[in-house]
Amino acid sequence: MRAIIRYQRKFDTVVRNYSLYGTSNGERWLLSLMDAEPVVFDVGFHSGSSTIEILRMRPRARVVAFDPSRSALEEYRTNFAGDARVTFHNIGLSDKPGESEFYDYQNQCNSLARRRDIPPTSPAIYSVPIGTLDSFCSEQRVGHINLLKIDAEGFDLNVLEGARELLSGQQVDIFLFEFGGGWSAQKRYLWEADEFVQPFEYSLFHLFNGFLCPLRYDSTIDSCNTLPAMYVGISNRRMSRGDIATRDYRF
C-alpha cells in the first residue's frame, strides 16, 4: 500500500502536474510568453526568486513587487534596492483596502491567514497595510500589465477580486496564481475562482510545462483535497495572437 501511495503521488506530480515546483511545472515556460519589455506585477515577492527569473528571461522588464512581510523588505533592500527595474511595496493586496494581521512563519507559508497545514509553529503576528490592485493601478496610472503573478498563500483569489476593473478592461494579459494549502486556511475554493473569471473575457487553464490545459472544474482537485497546482488566466485579446499552445490533456 505504501508503494501504491508513493506511485500515486509521483503520478500526480509528474504526469498530472499537480506541482508547485517552478523549475519544472511550466512557470519558466510561461515567462517566455511575455513581451520584450513587459510590465510584471510580482504579488508575493518573498525572497525575490520569481523577480530574479523574470529579469533573467526579460532583462528590460519592469517589475512591481508586493509583499507585507518584514523579511521580504529586507530581501529587496539587500538584492534589488539599486536596480531601477524593480520597485517594491511593503503592503498586502486583497479585495478591499485597510489593515490586517499578518502571520509570519519565517518561510514561504507567510500569509494573511493563519495556516493549519504546516508543522506547528508560533508565527510572528503583526499588523500590515492592505491595498487593492485596482486602486494601486489607478493611483500610479498603470494601464497595462503583461503578467500578474500571484502567490499570496490562500489570498490569491482575494487579490484577483481586487482587480475587477483591470480584468473588465482586459488590462492584464496573463495572470498566474498558486492553488495550495493556503486556500484551505482561507476557506476559499477553486470553484470560486472558476466562477469569478467567467463574466470576464478571460479563459482559465491548468499550467503544464510547455502548454495550457483548459480548466474543467472537478471537486476532486478542490480545496478540501488540495492537489496543489498553478492556474493561469489569459485574456481573449492576448489569446488572439495565436502563440500560446493549448491541449485538452486529461488524466
Domain containing residue 181: 18-98+131-239
Q: Is residue 11 part of a domain?
A: no
Q: Which CATH number covers residue 64?
A: 3.40.50.150
Is 103 part of a structural domain of the chain?
no
In a domain, 22, yes or no: yes
Q: Where are the beta strands (DSSP E) in 90-192?
A: 92-93, 98-104, 124-131, 145-150, 172-179
pLDDT at residue 214 greater than cutoff 70: yes
Nearest to 111, CA basis, from 86, 87, 130: 130
Rounded-to-5 percentages of helix, strand, coil across the chain = 30, 25, 45
In a domain, 50, yes or no: yes
**40: pLDDT confidence band, cut at 50, 70 and 90?**
very high
Enter the pTM of the model: 0.95
Alpha-carbon distances, residue 163 vs 22, 72, 119, 138, 172 (angstroms): 24, 23, 33, 11, 9
Note whether residue 144 is domain-resident.
Answer: yes
249: in domain = no
Task: Provide the number of structural domains found in the chain.
Answer: 1
Residue 71 clears pLDDT 80, i.e. is over it? yes
Question: In angstroms, rounded to a whole number, what is the distance separating the alpha carbons of residues 68 and 92?
Answer: 5
Give the type of residue at 175. Answer: F
Mean pLDDT of 127-152: 97
Q: Is residue 61 part of a domain?
A: yes
Domain membership of residue 46 (yes or no) is: yes
pLDDT above 70: residue 120: no
**Spatial contact of 16 and 251, defined as CB atoms under 8 Å apart:** yes
